[in-house]
Amino acid sequence: QEANLANAPDIFWSVFENKIPNSNAKNCFDWIDNHLKDGNGITTPRDLILLANRARDMQSSLNPSESKITGKAIVKAYAQVSAIKLEDLQRIYPETKQLIPLFSTSSVREAYGSLDKSKLVKLLGEEGNQSMVEPKIKILLDSGFLRPENKANPLSSTYFEIPFVYKQALGVKSTGRKT
């Protein structure tokens, strides 16, 4: 069958199982979209293809007789994709290479990747130095590494979150919320 916009959902559901284990997502497409979005709310076709290919390979090793790619295979493949995405981000935005390791701390993990602005400023080591902290926050926002609460004026946000797509690679749990 030839793929087109009208039959795309049918094709998707012929390949993927509908549910992700231990997830509140309505279906696996919503889970995939939510977990691949960066801080700018962008999920690229390349990321979807990468996850689909990795999930297919994972499914082959988990249960080759299964006709569809299972939620379990998607979740396992997602761990690989998260690491690749974080590497890509640092390659595309080299300015982030010195900043991202700062987010691999127990305080970030304990807060589930959620930070109020004062914690973010402290983490970046720029307390009391507004002229030095804003460019660092800006690159983290522009690169999609952080999601601001205030999308209209991101630098004025008082709350920031690491998107799901990078949490896995940083060892940050994706459940719960602390600020």
pLDDT for 16 equals: 92
CA 97 to the chain's CA centroid? 17
User: ∠ CA(98), CA(104), CA(105), 5° rounding?
Assistant: 120
The pLDDT tens digits along the chain (179 residues) read 677 778 888 888 888 988 898 888 889 999 999 999 999 999 999 999 999 999 999 999 998 888 899 999 999 999 999 999 999 999 999 999 999 999 988 888 888 989 999 899 989 986 667 778 899 999 999 999 999 999 899 999 999 999 999 999 999 987 644 43
Which structure tokens are listed for 8?
């795309």
